[in-house]
């Protein structure tokens, strides 16, 4: 199946690149519905948390120039503040890739940026202020996953108890509310089956889909009362530490109905499906137990979940955060926040991954985005405002590297604190080549 939705661009790219190789530069692990960049990524948008006493103190969309040969390559060329701090966190493009939706985990505001009118300078298109009331009480808009004509948003919490029970919320592309799908709980399984005695906790975090199999996967994290708490304080609070999700849920993508609940203890975070036409599996990592998990379709056509590797020494709680599968499905980058490391796993046999490389990026690291050809890898630093490290360990940056096949070689480094910008969180690539003038 051709996953690249801009049909015309497929043909245009084939014509433009007459050689035997077709290089792609887009970020991997995005919604298959989105059109892809077929050349060098031109910009990276960094959704950035404002910091009290720094610059204008506001959350902002920061644009960094990646254009080869540009006199401002590796520099911030645009910054758009949104008015106040919202606990800026994740975001995702709409399926037509003309808008970049981002969320604030604290204020529940959703900011929709127009990135097609001028890809070098996004502008704020719409702000959704009614996420909690629209959704019937969901708090903490997190992942934004593009579907044709709509956006599926995971929540992290709810307004009743600010705990981890939450839902998926769907908006149409105009930013109008469509529906809420509450996560299954032990008391209300909604037709889902618990696998191996899993206890459905109703938690949520990330979402990805394997369209060809009509499968959607969600993971789980923790609620507002934890993610807005000081990290050190939370670690010392035994009750708070009990409030983390231990499940992943397999959904019917088309009907939005939960099918299976898996035991995945220790807060499984990012969910990533590979691209291969026969790759019927996904990876996730557990933040608290530091394991790499495989959710896969077995030979009998049943979906299963199992731990397939450890990340660092789990007893040290390196806290795995973002992951990224290469476009050829052979390797997986895994970042761990506490030790500031990125690790590369060989996943050519997804049931037996093995680490083949590691590098310390800095004293803390969070998100990773790699280009479609795998040659450029970008890292950002912030986890959550109250969870980032303190003092001199609190380093905030966007770092660009080239991957030469054996080593990450630093390309450029932007110190977000020195620039007065704040805490660099999620990154997404942009290119003017996707749009006509």
- Report the interface residues with other proteins, using CB under 8 A: 1-3, 5-12, 32-33, 35, 95-96, 98, 147-150, 170, 172-174, 176, 178-179, 211-215, 252, 254-257, 435-437
Q: How far is the CB of 15 from other proteins (least distance, A)?
A: 8
Q: Please measure the distance between the N-terminal and C-terminal CA atoms of the chain and give it in whole angstroms.
A: 30
184 three-class SS: coil
Q: How far is the CB of 119 from other proteins (least distance, A)?
A: 13
* Nearest residue (CB) to other proteins, 174 versus 315: 174
Token digits for 235? 């670690």
Q: How far is the CB of 212 from other proteins (least distance, A)?
A: 5
* Nearest residue (CB) to other proteins, 178 versus 235: 178
Cβ neighbors of 337 (< 8 A, separation 6 or more) are 318, 319, 320, 321, 364, 365, 366, 383
Phi, psi of 133 (to 5 degrees): -70, -40
DSSP string across 227-272: HTS-HHHHHT-HHHHT-S--EEEEEETTTTEEEEEEE--S-EEEEE
* Nearest residue (CB) to other proteins, 9 versus 80: 9
Q: How far apart are CA 59 and CA 105, in angstroms?
A: 12
Q: How far is the CB of 235 from other proteins (least distance, A)?
A: 41
* Nearest residue (CB) to other proteins, 252 versus 358: 252
Q: How far is the CB of 93 from other proteins (least distance, A)?
A: 12
Q: How far apart are CA 387 and CA 345, in angstroms?
A: 26
Q: How far is the CB of 91 from other proteins (least distance, A)?
A: 20
Cβ proximity of 255 and 269 under 8 Å: no
Burial class (CB in 10 A: 0-12, 13-18, 19+), 422: buried
* Nearest residue (CB) to other proteins, 75 versus 298: 298
* Nearest residue (CB) to other proteins, 14 versus 356: 14
Beta strands in 130-219, from DSSP E residues, in sequence order: 138-147, 150-158, 167-172, 177-182, 193-194, 207-210, 215-218
* Nearest residue (CB) to other proteins, 106 versus 173: 173
Q: How far is the CB of 305 from other proteins (least distance, A)?
A: 19
Burial class (CB in 10 A: 0-12, 13-18, 19+), 28: buried
* Nearest residue (CB) to other proteins, 22 versus 213: 213
Tokens 């983390």, residue located: 244
* Nearest residue (CB) to other proteins, 99 versus 227: 99
Q: How far is the CB of 33 from other proteins (least distance, A)?
A: 5
Q: How far is the CB of 117 from other proteins (least distance, A)?
A: 13
Please count the other Cβ atoms lying within 10 Å of the Cβ belonging to residue 64.
24
Of 66, 149, 139, give the one whose Cα is nearest residue 103: 139
């Amino acid at each position: 199946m051709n996953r690249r939705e801009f049909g015309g661009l497929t043909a245009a790219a084939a014509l433009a690149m007459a050689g035997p190789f077709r290089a792609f530069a887009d970020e991997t692990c995005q919604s298959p519905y989105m059109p892809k960049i077929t050349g060098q990524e031109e910009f990276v948008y960094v959704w950035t948390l404002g910091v009290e006493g720094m610059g204008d103190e506001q959350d902002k969309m920061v644009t960094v120039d990646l254009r080869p040969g540009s006199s401002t390559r590796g520099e911030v060329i645009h910054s758009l503040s949104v008015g106040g701090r919202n606990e800026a966190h994740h975001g995702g493009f709409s399926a037509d890739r003309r808008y970049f939706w981002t969320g604030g985990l604290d204020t529940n505001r959703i900011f929709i940026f127009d990135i097609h009118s001028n890809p070098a300078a996004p502008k704020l298109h719409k702000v959704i202020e009614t996420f909690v009331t629209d959704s019937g009480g969901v708090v903490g808009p997190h992942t934004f996953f593009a579907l044709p004509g709509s956006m599926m948003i995971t929540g992290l919490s709810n307004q009743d108890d600010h705990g981890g029970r939450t839902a998926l919320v769907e908006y149409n592309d105009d930013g109008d509310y469509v529906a809420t799908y509450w996560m299954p709980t032990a008391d209300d399984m909604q037709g889902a089956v618990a696998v191996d005695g899993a206890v459905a906790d109703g938690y949520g975090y990330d979402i990805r889909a394997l369209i060809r199999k009509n499968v959607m996967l969600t993971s789980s994290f923790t609620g507002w009362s934890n993610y807005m708490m000081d990290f050190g304080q939370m670690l010392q609070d035994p009750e708070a530490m009990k409030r983390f999700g231990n499940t992943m849920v397999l959904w019917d993508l088309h009907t939005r109905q939960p099918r299976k609940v898996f035991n995945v203890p220790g807060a499984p975070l990012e969910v990533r499906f590979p691209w291969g036409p026969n790759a019927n599996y996904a990876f996730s990592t557990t933040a608290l137990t530091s394991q790499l998990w495989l959710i896969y379709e077995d030979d009998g056509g049943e979906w299963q979940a199992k731990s397939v590797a450890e990340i660092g020494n789990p007893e040290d709680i390196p806290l795995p955060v973002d992951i990224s599968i290469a476009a050829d499905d052979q390797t997986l980058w895994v970042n761990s926040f506490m030790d500031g490391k990125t690790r590369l796993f060989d996943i050519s046999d997804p049931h037996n991954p093995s680490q083949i490389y590691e590098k310390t990026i800095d004293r803390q690291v969070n998100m990773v985005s790699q280009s479609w050809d795998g040659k450029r890898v970008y890292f950002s630093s912030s986890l959550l405002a109250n969870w980032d490290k303190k003092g001199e360990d609190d380093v905030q940056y966007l770092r660009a590297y080239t991957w030469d096949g054996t080593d990450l070689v630093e390309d450029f480094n932007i110190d977000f604190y020195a620039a007065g910008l704040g805490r660099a969180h999620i990154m997404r690539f942009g290119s003017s080549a996707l749009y006509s003038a």
